Amino acid sequence: MVNRIINNGYFDSSGFIYFLYKWRQPLIIIVILAVVASFIFSSPFFITPKYKSTVILFPTSSNSISQALLGNKINNKKDILEFGEDEQAERMLQILNSNKIRNRIVEKHDLMNYYKIDKDSKYINTKVNREYESNVSFRRTKYMAVKISVLDKDPQMAANIANDISILLDSTVNEIKKERSFKGFQIVEKEYLRLKSQIKETEDSLLILRKLGVHDYESQAEMINQQLAIEIAKGNQQSIKRLEKKLNVLANYGGAYVTLRDGLEYDIEQLSIVKARYEEARIDAEQVLPQKFIVNHAFKAEKKSYPIRWLIVLVSAFSAAFFSILVLIIIENLEKIKNKKKEIFKNQV
């Protein structure tokens, strides 16, 4: 016989079809029972159906508004319309998984009551976080987009949570950035105001020196010395005394004038640089831009996504058949081994 089940007391795969035919009735019954049981226990009475809503978005590439909009276009490669890459997508995923967004969603939709979590429980936060994480997921797609998926028994609630998460992404990122940009703005503003005040003081000091007769030290000194030489040659003592008086003024205040004048030129140059940074920091501190490009908004699902009943039934049927066959093979082999041992024992006796 070609198809044999037993070969030296062990199961022979060549007789597998015969084996299935032999045990067809119990196998069919077991599979039918598994199908019926899985169909019943996957019904809404036992498993609450859930609906899925998704939001697909791309991160932006620019971090600084001022650099993207007001930066030097020759050296600036940032563009507010450019999509982000790996780094930006990973950063977005970290923010989406942050406590800030989760806590705001829990609070806004009152998820503790919605998930029917006992407020007197010792681990209330752990339970609500576990329920949230089981229903909300984030992943990066192969096109560097980020997908927000939300499961819920209410399709509208699933869509609302998914859309709210995408909205909170902007406010959370901008809040984090504003905290830092505002401190940076305060530092630049302080330096900007200090330079303006210093320039004003220098200009006031130069005004006093000009009233004393020091207008341009180098040219004045040269012209007075030339005129003095002429008056000395003429022997005009009155003019000589007047010119010497002017030279004494220059001698007394000329050094201070030069120092203040050169310092003023340097401060004005620095003020121009700091003012540009001041304007950039002010824009970063006061203005906001969306931090993502939304490709798909979430909408109310029309069909449930969980559980997938046909898949549960199919897996249950195959699992029941597999384990039933495995058990029957073990039983048959154990029986054959026992019979063989008995024959060996009889022959020895």
Dump pLDDT digits (tens) for 74-101. Answer: 445 556 666 667 788 888 899 999 999 9
Alpha-carbon gap, residue 259 to 277, rounded angstroms: 27
The per-residue pLDDT for range 163-174, each reduced to its tens digit, is 999 999 888 888
pLDDT of residue 243: 73
114 within 8 A of 136, measured Cβ to Cβ: no
For the entire predicted model, the pTM comes to 0.65
pLDDT of residue 71: 56
Q: Phi-psi bin for 235: left (phi > 0), alpha (psi -120 to 50), beta?
A: left
How high is the mean pLDDT of the chain? Answer: 80
pLDDT band at 108 (very low <50, low <70, confident <90, very high): very high
pLDDT band at 156 (very low <50, low <70, confident <90, very high): very high
151 within 8 A of 52, measured Cβ to Cβ: yes
pLDDT of residue 151: 93
When mean pLDDT is compared across 7-11, 140-144, 232-236, 238-242, the lowest value belongs to 7-11
Q: For residue 84, give the 3-state DSSP assignment.
A: coil
Alpha-carbon gap, residue 213 to 206, rounded angstroms: 11
Architecture of domain 51-182+292-296: 2-Layer Sandwich (3.30)
Q: In sequence order, which residues have a C-beta less than 8 Å from that of residue 267 and are 6 or more positions away?
A: 195, 198, 199, 202
Tokens of 17: 């079809």
Q: For residue 129, give the 3-state DSSP assignment.
A: helix
pLDDT at residue 118 above 50?
yes
